[in-house]
Structure 1
Amino acid sequence: MAEIDHIVLGARTLEEGAAFIEQHLGVRPRKGGTHEGFGTHNMLLGLGRGTYLEIIAPDPAQPDPPHGRPFDLDDPSLKVALEAEPRLIAWVARTPLLDAVVARLGHRAGEVKEMSRADLHWRMAFPPQRQDMDNLIPALIEWKGEGASSRIPDSHVRLLQLEAEHPEAEAVRTALAERGLEEAMRVRRSPHARLIARLKRADGQEVTLSSG
């Protein structure tokens, strides 16, 4: 059993990401923290019901990590795209049975990594490159104790729908079903891969964020 944990907005800097979210969603995200050893830091926005939005950016106070930053932040094409403006880059699914899912999927699940920020601790498995279907297949997270969403004030912004577009739509559906996520997002065929999040602001206005 897995479900949406959070959506991820990439930005060149956290301030650029925060300004983008405040402009589009009408609320300022709160400070998160650093991911030591991974070269990133974040800000967070609570979306209610155990879901949140994460703004992630390279942390200038940390050296470049040897393995590359999460969510392809070091990819040259993404870095160019983020020069223009922040954008939705990935999503993460929560499961209480990460080891069981990884054992069933084998190498397709990716390597499990231990991560922490202050007193929050979690384990994540990022799908290997070229098997993440352009980040449409989520990283899997298992929180140790309470997750981040329990500590984030509710912004009263709500995630209405998560959608995926991809030339191989059926392959995306299969990969999601293997992770128990067949109901988590709407998938349709398109010539280009794209991740889309439809949200409702506290004032009722609907806003779309996407990866392109």
Structure 2
Amino acid sequence: MAEIDHIVIGALTLEDGARYAEALLGVKPSKGGAHAGLGTHNMLIGMGANCYIEIIAPDPAQPAPPHPRLFDLDDASLRNMLEAEPRLIAYVASTPALDPLVARLGTSHAGEIASMSRGDLRWRMAFPPQRQDMDNLIPPMIQWEGERAAKHIRDSGWRLTALEAEHPDAQALRTALAGRGLGDAVKVKQSPHPRLVAHLRHRDGREATLTSA
């Protein structure tokens, strides 16, 4: 069964993203690293052994990649929104059976599988092709090879309590998520405009909400 692996905050710079997260959650993100060849880098906030927050931004130390950056970071409309402030832009789901899932859905819907690594961490991912992700509401799927990254990130005390996806074609989104084993992991709502909403709760009782719009 698939589950939410991490949620993604987009920012124009990592410094912007770190300030945003600290102001909202009272937590300083941990150092992440660069996504070599993809033109991005990240910082991380742990939410227990199985989930975390990724803050992602274009990496000025890398040349512009020959393809669009992950999570539509090169999209002009998103960049305009991120100029106002960082925000939730996507999420990633984990599965123990990535190959059968991609074989069943087809690469035209699930995307091609790519192997990735950083230090001792190894994983494989399949990103839905652009315009097949229903505005980032259908997530990339990840399969960790060995321990998950969340186990290596300092626990912030925050937990993801609910993830909601709003879209004009709610039934199509429900069908797509159910086909990935996420029917119970994401609450789908009908809405005139696509939106992702993450509800968080801290062990001390504080609550926070992240939204994409």
Report the TM-score range of the alignment, normalised by the length of the smaller protein. over 0.9
TM superposition shift of 1:46: 0.6
Opposite residue 197 of structure 2, the aligned amino acid is I
Matches within 5 A, 1:61-80: 61-80=61-80
Opposite residue 31 of structure 2, the aligned amino acid is K
Q: Does 2:55 match 1:55?
A: yes
- Does structure 1 conserve the Cα–Cα contact (< 8 Å) formed by 2:39 and 2:62? yes
Let me know the Cα RMSD of the aligned residues: 1.0
- Take 1:83 and 1:116, find their aligned partners in 2: how far apart are those partners? 30
Q: Deviations over 1:3-59 (max 9, x none)?
A: 110000000111110110111011111001111011111000011140000000011
- Does structure 2 conserve the Cα–Cα contact (< 8 Å) formed by 1:35 and 1:116? no
Aligned residues: 212
- Take 2:49 and 2:209, find their aligned partners in 1: how far apart are those partners? 20
Q: Partner of 1:23 in structure 2?
A: 23
Q: Does 2:175 match 1:174?
A: yes
TM superposition shift of 1:201: 2.9
Give the percent of matched residue pairs that are identical in Structure 1 and Structure 2: 67
- 2:50 is paired with a residue whose SS is coil
- Take 1:58 and 1:157, find their aligned partners in 2: how far apart are those partners? 26
- 2:147 is paired with a residue whose SS is coil
Opposite residue 174 of structure 1, the aligned amino acid is T
- Does structure 2 conserve the Cα–Cα contact (< 8 Å) formed by 1:155 and 1:202? no
Q: Partner of 1:136 in structure 2?
A: 137
Q: Partner of 2:32 in structure 1?
A: 32
Structure 2: which 5+ runs fail to align? Answer: none
Q: Deviations over 1:127-169 (max 9, x none)?
A: 1122101100110001121121010111101111000110000
Q: Bigger CA drift: 106-115 or 8-17?
A: 106-115
Q: Partner of 2:10 in structure 1?
A: 10
Q: Partner of 2:211 in structure 1?
A: 210
Q: Partner of 1:44 in structure 2?
A: 44
Q: Deviations over 1:62-115 (max 9, x none)?
A: 001111211111111111111110000000000111110000000210111222
Opposite residue 129 of structure 1, the aligned amino acid is Q
Opposite residue 93 of structure 2, the aligned amino acid is A
- Does structure 2 conserve the Cα–Cα contact (< 8 Å) formed by 1:26 and 1:201? no
Q: Partner of 1:120 in structure 2?
A: 121
- Take 2:82 and 2:204, find their aligned partners in 1: how far apart are those partners? 28
- Does structure 2 conserve the Cα–Cα contact (< 8 Å) formed by 1:123 and 1:143? yes
- Does structure 2 conserve the Cα–Cα contact (< 8 Å) formed by 1:8 and 1:91? yes
- Take 2:203 and 2:42, find their aligned partners in 1: how far apart are those partners? 22
> Which TM-score applies when normalising by structure 1?
0.97
- Take 1:66 and 1:122, find their aligned partners in 2: how far apart are those partners? 22
Opposite residue 45 of structure 1, the aligned amino acid is I
TM superposition shift of 1:202: 4.2
Structure 1: which 5+ runs fail to align? Answer: none
